[in-house]
Chains A and B, each alone.
Chain A
Amino acid sequence: MFRRVVCSTGALALRARPAYMARVSAAAMPSMTFHTSSKDLMPYKMPEEGGKVRLGFIPEEWFTFFYNKTGVTGPYMFGTGLILYLINKEIYVVSHELLHGALIIGLLVYGVKKFGPAYTAYADKTINDQIEQTYDVKNAQVDALQQSIDAEKKEQWRLDGRNMLFDARKENIAMQIETAYRERLHTVAADVKKKMDYHIEVENVKRRVQQEHMVEWIQKNVIQSITPQQEKENIAQCIRDLKTLSARA
């Protein structure tokens, strides 16, 4: 059955024509609606199920319209009565055409009931494959864009890391500067101490030299002042002391 084909092609044909292509005659009506509202920009979703029919051509609404008054069998009774009336009064003439029509319609119904589901499955599969293909294309594009977004975010994260690297380097250099400063402070202190030690050493050396010189001079003078006669007396005295000491021991 071409219901699926009618479905898709009819919908496509009716949807493919935009509003402004409809005017054929110059006296076209002013009640044309151009698609200007945002509601018309949304993709149109077809309803799932269409209107229901009974026996293939009678809409379901006619049955529900009479349900309150006549119940379930009301419209069937009406149909039966109508058919019997038409045949009785020969408004419908029973002829060979009836047999032709019954056979043809029977064949059509049998064909639809037998091959309908198979064709339905095939048509649904085709349409679903197309829809899936479209969605695959869209999803592939979305994924590619998402990947590029992630790559961009990662690059930004890397740049943040670079900022931290700069900070670490700055800290390093600051520490080196501090170390050098303190080394120089120590050097300055050591140099100043050296200078002061030098002055102290100079004073010490001066005093030592003066002292030694004074001692030498005093010794020299004392030795000069010892006359040879005093020296002989000294030596004799020493010998007498030694004798007495040895006598005692």
Chain B
Amino acid sequence: MFCTVFCIHPRGYVKPVSNMADKLPARLSEVRLGQLPKWITSCSLAPKNVGAAFGRAHSKFVLKYVNVKRGSIAPVGMFIAVYIGVSYFWRYGETKHERNRVYHW
């Protein structure tokens, strides 16, 4: 969905390249601990880049779990899990009233 609007990725999607002048890498796993605050604050919140981030995540997921010859239950299972989690999260305000106990320690 975001992928179609912001960039077409899969078909062997390449790794993201950092377009920053100084030595901050593009992946979180390659960032050193001291550079972490700088890395976090260096992300841009422009909708173009946010959409591009969604596109990258979607491409990564699709390349890993969908564009394979022998697929698994992973996409369906993850979809169901996220559905359950997000719907419970949105309904927590009402579910709070159905608690069985008042005090939890």
| Stretch binding the partner chain, chosen from A74-82, A93-101, A148-156 | A93-101
- Judged by a CB distance under 8 angstroms, whether B8 is at the interface is yes
Asked whether A48 is an interface residue with its Cβ less than 8 Å from the other chain, the reply is yes
Contact status of A93 and B5, CB under 8 A, knowing A27-B48, A48-B70, A101-B84: no
Name the interface size band of chain A: 35 or more
Q: Which one, A5-13, A189-197, A208-216, is touching chain B?
A: A5-13
Q: Is the CB of B4 within 8 A of A7?
A: no
Q: Which of A52-60, A132-140, A166-174 lies at the binding interface?
A: A52-60
- Chain A, interface SS category: loop
Most central of A10, A53, A57 by chain B CB within 10 Å: A57
How many residues does chain B have at the interface if contact means C-beta atoms less than 8 Å apart? 38
Nearest residue (CB) in A for B16 is A31
* B73-101 interface with A by 8 A CB criterion: 73-78, 80-81, 84, 88, 95-96, 98-101
Chain A min CB distance to B84 (Å): 7
- A59 nearest CB neighbor, chain B only: B74
Contacts of B72 in A (CB 8 A): 3, 49-53
A50 and B66 contact, Cβ closer than 8 Å, known pairs A93-B99, A95-B98: yes
